[in-house]
Structures are given as C-alpha cells and as structure tokens.
Structure 1
Amino acid sequence: MAVKEEERVLPLLPLRGLLVYPSMVLHLDVGRERSVKALEQAMVEDDLILLATQHEVQLEEPTPEDIYKMGTIARVRQMLKLPNGTIRVLVEGLSRARLLEFLETESHYRVRVREIIQEEVHDINVEALMRSVLDHFEQYLRLSKKMSPETLSGVSDIDEPGRLADVVASHLPLKMEDKQQILETVEIRERLETLLSMLNNEREVLELERKISQRVKKQMEKTQKEYYLREQMKAIQRELGEKEGRLGEVEELREQLAQLEAPADVKERIEKELQRLEKIPTSSAEGGVIRTYVEWLLELPWLKQTEDDLNLKKAERILEEDHYGLEKAKERVLEYLAVQKMVQQLKGPILCLVGPPGVGKTSLGRSIARALGRQFVRISLGGVRDEAEIRGHRRTYVGAMPGRIIQGIKNAGTSNPVFLLDEIDKMTMDFRGDPASALLEVLDPEQNKTFSDHYIEMPYDLSKVMFITTANTLHTIPQPLLDRMETLYISGYTEIEKEQIAKEYLIPKQIKEHGLTKENFQIHKEAIRNVIRYYTREAGVRNLERTFGKLARKGVKQLVSGDRKRVVVTAKNLSKYLGPEKFRYGKAEETNPTGAATGLAWTAAGGDTLTIEVSVLPGKGKLTLTGKLGDVMKESAQAAFSYIRSRAEEWKIDPEFNEKNDIHIHVPEGAIPKDGPSAGITMATALVSALTGVPVSREVGMTGEITLRGRVLPIGGLKEKSLAAHRAGLTRILIPKENEKDLDEIPKSVSKELKITPVSHMDEVLKLALVRDPNESD
C-alpha cells in the first residue's frame, strides 16, 4: 500500500471536544478570536485549514504543547456569521496531516504540516476485516437506540477500507483518546483491527447496560404490580368492611414502622417480618407469634431518650427533700451529674446500695431518677432462679417473651431510665440456669452496649441506662458480678437521725395517708423518742413508720367515733395506744457481771449487742459451746481458750483449770444462728472473768478477733456496731487498733457520747474491760 507525503503550510484551527476524520462533512461554531483569524486566513488563500484537537476541553487559549500532533486537512465550504458574533462554518475533511512546526503563534496559529495520502488497496485480509467491522457495527446499532437503522445502509455502501474505518469511528461514542488513536493509525489494516477491538468493547458495554436495564425494569414492574394488587386488596377490604384482616394488621404495623425512631438494621428486620406476616394465612398460629414479636420491636425505645436535668442545686434540693442523711450516696449522684455536665456523655454508672432493711435504698433510687429528670423502673430479683427472667425466652418456645430488662425498658418508654434491680443478693440458681451470670452482661459498661435478649434477637444499647442495685449483704453476691458494681454502704440511722426522719417524713406521710391534719393529730417529741427506744429496735425506719401508722389509725378511730376532736400522743399516754414497751433501753446490764461480756455484732438488719456468758463447772476439762454458733465463732472460742491457758499463771489462774473444770460458753437467743470473726476478745474477756472472779464493766462493749498470741485483729461493720452500742446505752467500746481509719464513718452525735478506745493486744482489753486487775486482791 503506497503512502504519499507532501509538506504544506496552513493555518491551524484547534478543536475543543471534537475530532474531524477525512471524508467527514460537518458544521463547526467558531468563536475564539485566534480561530476566527485562522479561518479568515484560510479563505484568503486556497480555503484549506488544518483541524487538530486540543488535549483539554476547558483550555480557552491552548499552547502548541496542548494540541495533538496529528490532525486533518479540511476545506472550508461555507462561512456564516451568527447574531451573537460566532461564525458557523461548513468543513469537509480531506486527508490526514502530521504537524511538524509552528511558524506563527501571535494573531493565529500557522503551521507546517506533512500531508499523508493513502492509496486504498484491497486484499483478502483487509476484506475480512471490513466484513467483521460491518458485522460488529450492525450488532452495535441493534443494541443502541441512539442511532437510526439508515446509518448501517449508508456505511455498508463504502468500498474503501480506510474511509470505512474513519466513518464507523465517527459514529461511535468513543473517548477522545481512542478517536485520536484511530486518526493517528495510518496503516489501514492496523486501523481496522484497532477499530474492531473498540467496537467489540462498546458492544459488550451495551449488552451489559441492556441486562441491567431489563433487571431494573422487571424489579420496577414487580414492585408496581405488588403495589397495585395491595391497593386493590385494600379497596376490596374497605368495601367489605374488613378492617381486621391480615393486610389491615400489616398496614397498621407499617404505619407504626414509618414513625419508628430506630437503627436501619432494626427497621430492615421489622420489614422482613412484616413480609413474612403478609404471606401467612389468617388461620395460622404462627401469624400471632410474628405479630407479637413485631409489636415488641415497634414498642421498644431504640433511640428515644429523656434529656438529663443537669442542675446540681436542684438535684441536691430534691435529694435533701426526699431523704435525711445518706450523705455518701447523695454525693455520688451529684458527682455523676457534674461529670455528665462536663463531658455531655458518660456511660451509665452501676451503683450497688448495700445496707440493712428499711434504710431507704429503694426510695433513694426513685429520688435519683427524680433528680436526674429520668424515668424510673424497678424490678425485684428476690427468688429469681431462671436465666430467661433476665435474657428472655427463645421465640421457638410457647408463650415466649423478653426478659425483665427489656420489659422494664419498654415500660419506661426511654432508652436511658434509672433502672433499679432490687434484692440482687437474693437470687438463686437451679437447672434452669444462673441468673447472676446472665446479669454480668447487663451490668458491664463495656458489654451492655450490645445487650442481646433471646427473644428480641437484636442488640440493644443499655450503656445509657443508670443501673442501681440494692442488697442487704455482699457475701451472697457472686464475686464477678460484684466486681462490675460500685458499692455504696448505707448504714443504720442514729436515734437523732430517726427523730428527724420521723418529724420531717414519716409522721407527715402517715397524717396525709390517714386523712388527718396537724390540727387534729399531734405526736410530742418525747413520744417520738420513746417509740424509737422502747417500741422499735432496727437499723432502718420501716418498723418505725409502721408504728406511727398504728398511732394514726388509733387516732382516726377516736376522731370518727366522736370520743375526741383532737388527739395528742404524749410520752405518758403512749402505752395506751401501743401497749407495753417491747424493748428495754438503757444499760446492757444492771450490775457488773462476772463471767459475761458484751460483744458488738453486725447483722443484715444492722448492728446489735451480743452477751457472751461463761460458766466454770467441776469436771474433766470439757469445753461446751451453745447458742447455735457457726464454725468461725467456735474457732474463736477455741483460740481464746488456748490463749488463756498459755497466760494462766500471769492472771493467777490455776494452770490445771482445764483438767479440773468443764467450761460452758453460751450466747443467748439460741434459736438465732450466729457467726462471724469478731467475737474472739469478748469470749476471752468472759473466760478470764469467770476463771478469776473479776467482774466485767457493764458499760463496756467490745469487738475484735483474737490470735493465739493475744493480738487483736481488725473487723468490719464498725459504724453499725457503734450505733448498736449507742442504742444499748454503753458508754465505752473497745475496737481493734487497725480500725482507727474507720472512725470517720461514725456519726458525730454517736462519737460524742461513746468513748471509743482502740486496742492492739488482749492485755489492753482486760485492763479496760475488767473492773480491776486480776492480780490484785479483791
């Protein structure tokens, strides 16, 4: 195939987003000043101009480097000036030309080019390529709806292979780089092969587009068909008055779904369940199961939450209004509010309020909710032994339902309530699982963000919930569960605190509940104190409130019967309403006892005093322990006994007393189980008193464990024990030296009236507890 080349000098017209092939005839709109001057220069000469495409369409003033080096020599057939100043020109492509040199660049581009003229040569390979190009172009036109069928007939009549390649390329929506590649491919067979590859690629793209379009169309048709049928069904149901049908239920649930504030995955799950519900016959029992499940998902507050009231002064006022004392618990709540106000987002703390019954643990939780401005939820865990109570039942079970946690959240209506788990120390376990272990996920701030209930089967965020648990004692709570909670001890109240609580809270409450007024019912201050001392003996105020309720009922009866118009309860007439005194208040013992010592004990109901009695009887050294003592107290008795034997000579005790006598140690109220590591020094004191005959001071109480060498070990529950000593009328208590750090917990009103003496050895205990030294003569 012969190629003729001839050099020419021509004006250059840069094209933007357009490429002209030889044999193409088309209109161009020319507006740039430099391009207009190039056209004028071409018309002055022989109407010839070089058309070359610029690389970037956006360039307004392209430089020589911005223009492709292969263009098309074209003849300007016609020029027409438009009203807006643009020139519309008709050009006809003649031949390819390679740009060699820019001769002028000022007013317009004038370049030297080498014109490339090819002779069309036919051979069998070129003919085969031409047929393939036409076949692929025909398939492309069949798939493409942007070209008319007449385009193929116009292309099929072309005999010259080079011209065929150029015309087909001009009809394809190719990238400018691909069109330029066709223009720069001078060799005809290579040009046809390149075009064939591009045609094949374009045809595959069109087929893929057609498949996607058909798939989308089918989906749209299916959706439209379902919508149309659903609307028809609704119309039929409206005509028949069938509001209770399955579709009516689903429509109602879908309306609720549209208004639900929930994560996208929750909404997607509900929609899937609704689609299942639509397909299930009305008579099927499974439909009811699915509906109940969907209703639970719709009613849960997934994203709804109340805004915390972060006014610290207001919160402090509310806590003071509702409770007297409980300073540590109140301080912790105010700290939480302060941090929340500072950082705006804090994981819900998990507080464990530990204390005897009746001290206000549950009501404190309610007050915390009021102070925060949150909803309050309370569930009791006492006696719970089934794991499903916490995590819910699987939906496969008949009568399945969510656990108490999710039920409480639903009842609260918000995702950040104050959630009180009452009596957490009274959970048990059996073959149905361990609910305490199930609570580990609930009460772990790092895990409860994705709490999983067996019934809901969707992660629920509990991290915004403020969990509060209550317990009477800690030793029955599993250690892993206890580790996840912040423990706040709420000890018993002093007599002074009980008086204040009675005046400010209990009596006004009972007056209101019984329809009385301050004018027709009064209780004197002395009567209040006597009720506390002689009719109740507890760490909390529950029985105290119950007693005031009894007084109020007596008063109502007298007022209603007309016996009196005004009832005044005084210290003198108190027994008339409540009967004889139930407890003896004052000294633990009337006289200084021999062989008996007053110990201080801690119980789940608060502190209490415990008298330990020792009798020395003729015998053969038998040690008898009675009073339903636990293993720890029995061991304390053995240790005290061994210590006294080792020091017998110092205290003028017969060294062989254990061989000649039987020792009987008894703790009264034998029906009540007693155990704990704090009765050692009390037993030792009672033993020494019984063996030496030296009385123990009736005003002294003591607590502490003893070692075989006579050391006094630390104990727990010092505050409760000191309150018990104060209630019993003791004036001095002996405590282990190592418990001095706990003295700050004792109320000032108690520490003022009690002389608290730390001791580190049994010798110090005996000096203070016995009325005289055992070595001194009587």
Structure 2
Amino acid sequence: MSQELNEIVEDVPGPLPSDLPLLAVTDAVIFPGVIFPYVINDARQIKMVHNVLGGNRMMAVFLKKEDGEDGNRLFPTGTAVQVLKMFSVPDGSMGLLLQGIRRVVFKGIAGRSPWVRVRLEAVEEDKRQSLRTESYRKELLRSFDDYSSQNSWISDDLKQSIHSVTDPGQLGDLVCANLNFSVEDRQKVLEETSNSARLKTVLELIHKELKLTELSRKIQDEMNRNMEESQKEHYLREQMKVIRKELGDDDDAAVELEELRQLIAKGHLPEHVFQAAERELKRLGRMSPSSSEFTVSRTYLDWLCNMPWGASQKENTDLKRAARVLDSDHYGLEKVKERILEFLAVRKLTESSHGPILCFAGPPGVGKTSLGQSIARALGRKFIRIALGGVHDESEIRGHRRT
C-alpha cells in the first residue's frame, strides 16, 4: 500500500445512489478527494468488486468496530468511493485503486444477498470560512512543515501537493490521510463535518505526533549518551588494567572487586545501603591496591556485606512463660526478676524494639550472664555475648569514623 496519497480530486458529479455495496474494513479510512490503494483477499469481496466494475463502479467503505457486517458493528460515518482500477497482487490477493467521493452516513442494511448493501445518506459539510478557520489552516501548514522536517520519508511532491490545496476541509483530509495516525484518529477526522472542527482535530493530532517525535528523539539521544558512557567506562577500565599490570599490580585486586560485587548483589541490602555500597565499590575500583585507603575501603565493604541485613527473630512476649523461665533458672533475686518482667511488659505494650537498656552490675560469678541467657530463652531470642574486657574507649562501642 502506498505511503503517500498525494492526489486530490474533486467530488464526482451526479446524485449519490440510495444504497451501495458495503466494503467493511478494519485497517483503513478513506477520505473524499483522496485516491487510496487497498488490498482485499476475501473471495466474496473480490466477487462483489467484479460486479461493481460492471456497473456504476461505486461502493461504500465503512470502518468496522469489530468482526461482522451488521450495522451496529460499523462506525456511523463512512465514504462513498469509486473503484478506479482492480489488479492482481503476487500473493494471490486483489489490489484496488479507490477514489473517495464524499462522506456518507449509514442508515441501515438494504440487503444481504449476494453481498451486503447499505442504505446511505450524503453528509452535508459545513464549508463556511472564518478567521478561525484560516488561522487553523495556516497553523496546520506550519505544523506539517515542522513534522516533515523531522521525517525524511515525506517527499517533496507530497509537501507541494499539501501546500497547493486551497480548500480547508480537503487540506485536513489530505494531511490526515498521509501522516501516521491510527485508524481510530482518522475516523474521528472523517466524522467532522465542519471545516473548522476538522482542521482543529487534525492540528491536535499532528501536535501529538510532534511531541511523540520529540520524546522519541530525546530517548534516543539519552540512550546514545548512556551507550557512550558505558563504552567510555569500559575503555577506561581496560586502560586501568594495563596500567596496573605495568606497575606490577597483579589481578588479585580485580578478583577482590568481583567478589565484593557479588557479595553486594547477594547481600539483601536495603536500597540506601545498596547505593552506598555501590558508590564505595566504584571508589575502590579507582584506587591502587597499594594505597592505604584501599584497605580501609575494602574492610568497610566487608563489614557492610557481613551485616545480617533483613535477619530478624520474632519475640515471645508471654510474661507468664518469662516468669517461669526466670524462676526455673534462678532462685531468689525477686527484685531483679520483677524489674526484668517490668522491662518485658513495657516492650510488649509499646511493640517497639527501642527502649531502655538493662544493666546488670556486680562482681564476677553473681549471675549477670546467666540472667541474660534466661531473658533470651524467655523471649525465644538468640543469646549473643560480647566480652568488653580491656575496652576503655566508648567509641569502640558507639562507633567512630573509618580508619
């Protein structure tokens, strides 16, 4: 099928028949004054066209909403067309050269044998001229020029044909017939009977196409930039490998980086931690393995990946069970047990992991560690013991900057 329908012809004179054979299509909208190639492969349609060629050569083309040829499955506005030519196509189909005559409205089924014929009524078009219509016409020509400058497939012949059209309604039809609008959008234009409304609709469609073209160009530019950045990064990494090899650095650093990259990917890190780890890994990749900063950064990433991100245990907040566990593990110590149960009760009520820290003070052997073990058993939590003997700097617990 031709990409350019750059011929405009005047309406064929003579009265419109009251009914015509129906050519129901799903992929085309034909406009009055436009010569349009179309291919059919249905045997019944081919027989119908042969019959039409032996008569007045006219039929009605309507866009289908869905399969079938019933009136409620057709869009209400179609086109009366004249079959100019019929020719064979190599794949066995038949090609038609159709000339749009005028807009028509579907009025019912006139007959179904040997093919469907439909009753029609010609559409009376509003061809009144106004300042608004002229404004739409000039803006449409300007927008078409913008569109054609961004799409090299539009030929000079088509540009010349469009600029030579003086009738505003025909201008809207010809532009709509030649640009890549959907059949639904073309049907909307076909249903517009006013020159002004038709030009406005086509103008909105071409502005939409211009925005899509601009967006597509931006996306393509961004993809090209990203590809260039990726190629640049690959080139620099290859250079870095060569430089390190010349300096005597072996491939151990590259192996370490790959191991860290896999640890980060498999570490179930939260999003903000993952981003921080990625930044640090990129920074590490730019360092020399002999640098002191390399070891600091490597240790930091090791620590980050070995943290139990996402690991949690559900607490058993049954206070009666906790009391039984404490009583079974320790004799006496009523005040201590009562304070522990108060602590657990507050945790149960607030449902928060944050709160006061229990501190057991006393000489060695009085049961501080065993009380902690009992609390862990009562809660169903794992007991972790960290010996802090000899630690004098509180930053060893609170944390300090990386060194």
Structure 1 length-normalised TM: 0.38
Aligned residue for 2:63? 53
How far apart are the structure 2 equivalents of 1:152 and 1:383?
Answer: 89
Verify: 1:31 aligned to 2:42, yes or no.
Answer: yes
CA contact (8 A) 1:7 1:112 kept: no
- Greater relative CO (CA pairs within 8 A, separation 6+): 2
What's the counterpart of residue 191 of structure 1? 198
Map of 1:574 onto structure 2: none
Is 1:300 equivalent to 2:311 in the alignment?
no
Partner in structure 2 of residue 465 of structure 1? none
The AA in structure 1 aligned to 2:55 is E
The equivalent residue for 2:220 is 213
Q: Residue 85 of structure 2 contacts residue 96 of structure 2 at CA under 8 Å; is this kept in 1?
A: yes
* Deviates most, 171-180 or 296-305: 296-305
Answer yes or no: is the 8 Å Cα contact 1:6–1:114 preserved in 2: no
Paired position in structure 1 for 2:184 = 177
1:381 is displaced (CA, Å) by 5.9
Maintained 8 Å contact 2:67/2:73:
no
Displacement after TM superposition at 1:21 (Å) = 1.2
For 1:13, what is the secondary structure of its paired residue? Answer: strand
Partners of 1:181 and 1:45 in 2: CA distance: 31
- The partner residue of 2:119 within 102, 112, 118 is 112
Change (3 A) 1:5 1:128: farther
Q: Match of 1:736?
A: none
**1:227 aligned residue:** 234
Inter-partner Cα distance in structure 1 for 2:368 and 2:198: 95
Q: Output the aligned Cα RMSD.
A: 4.8
Contact 2:40 2:46 in 1 (8 A): no
Partner of 2:99: 92
Shift in Å, 1:212: 2.8
Correspondences of 1:455-466 after superposition (within 5 Å): none
Structure 2: distance between partners of 1:132 and 1:64: 37
Which AA in structure 2 matches 1:222? E
| Structure 2 match to 1:42 | 52
The structure richer in strand per residue is 1
Going from structure 1 to structure 2, the CA distance change for 1:219 and 1:82 (only over 3 Å counts) comes to: closer
Count of equivalent residues? 349
Provide, for residues 480-516 of structure 1, a one-character-per-residue CA deviation record: whole Å limited to 9, x for no partner: xxxxxxxxxxxxxxxxxxxxxxxxxxxxxxxxxxxxx
**Cα distance in 2 for residues equivalent to 1:247 and 1:145:** 48
Deviation sequence 1:441-486 (CA, Å, 0-9, x none):
xxxxxxxxxxxxxxxxxxxxxxxxxxxxxxxxxxxxxxxxxxxxxx
Could you tell me the TM-score, scaled by structure 2's length?
0.68
Shift in Å, 1:169: 0.4
Instruction: Supply the distance in 2 between the matched residues of 1:235 and 1:281 (Cα, whole angstroms).
Output: 13
Give the drift of 1:297: 0.8
Q: Distance in 1 between matches of 2:174 and 2:143?
A: 14
In the alignment, the residues of structure 1 paired with residue 213 and residue 23 of structure 2 have an alpha-carbon distance, to the nearest angstrom, of 34
- Which residue identity lines up with residue 196 of structure 1 in the other structure? L
Unmatched runs of 5 consecutive residues or more in structure 1: 306-325, 330-347, 400-778
Aligned-partner Cα distance in 2 for 1:83–1:207: 39
Question: Distance between the aligned counterparts of 1:227 and 1:281, measured in 2?
Answer: 18
- The one-letter code matched in structure 2 to 1:141 is S
Give the distance between the partners of 2:131 and 2:95, measured in 1 at CA.
43
Counterpart residue identity of residue 54, structure 1: K
Q: Which has the higher helix share?
A: 2
Q: Tell me if 1:241 matches 2:248.
A: yes
1:637-716 matched pairs, under 5 angstroms: none
Query: Which residue is 2:25 aligned to?
Result: 15
Matched with 2:74 is: 67
| CA distance in structure 2 between the partners assigned to 1:124 and 1:358 by the alignment | 100
Deviations 1:346-391 (A, max 9, x none): xx9xxx99xx9499976x96xx99xx9x99853236798876555x
Residues 492-549 of structure 1: per-residue CA shift (max 9 Å, x gap): xxxxxxxxxxxxxxxxxxxxxxxxxxxxxxxxxxxxxxxxxxxxxxxxxxxxxxxxxx
Structure 1: how far apart are the matches of 2:225 and 2:92? 51
User: What is the match of residue 350 of structure 2?
Assistant: none
CA 1:151–1:289 in 2, change beyond 3 Å: closer, same or farther?
Answer: farther
> Contact between 1:95 and 1:117, CA under 8 Å: does it hold in 2?
no
**1:97 maps to amino acid:** V
- What residue number does 1:735 align with? none
Is the CA contact (8 Å cut-off) linking 1:74 and 1:91 kept in structure 2?
Answer: yes
Given that 1:263 and 1:302 are in contact with CA atoms closer than 8 Å, whether structure 2 keeps it comes out as yes
CA shift for structure 1 position 199: 1.8
Where does residue 393 of structure 1 map in the other structure? 399
Alignment of structure 1 residues 101-500 onto 2, 5 Å = 101-105=108-112, 107-116=114-123, 129-144=136-151, 147=154, 151-243=158-250, 250=257, 253-258=260-265, 260-278=267-285, 289-302=296-309, 328=328, 357=365, 377-380=384-387, 388=395, 390=397, 392-395=398-401, 399=403
How has the CA–CA distance of structure 1 residues 199 and 5 changed in structure 2, closer, same or farther, with 3 Å as cutoff? farther
Verify the 8 A CA contact 1:37 1:108 in the aligned structure 2. no
Residues 47 and 75 in structure 1, CA contact (< 8 A), matched pair in contact too: yes
- Cα 1:179–1:214, aligned 2, differ >3 Å: closer, same or farther? same
* Post-superposition CA distance 1:684-743 (Å, at most 9, x none): xxxxxxxxxxxxxxxxxxxxxxxxxxxxxxxxxxxxxxxxxxxxxxxxxxxxxxxxxxxx
Gaps of 5+ in 2: 1-10, 313-325, 330-352, 354-358
Contact 2:21/2:117 (CA < 8 Å) preserved in 1?
Answer: yes
The CA distance in 1 between the partners of 2:157 and 2:393, in whole Å, is 81
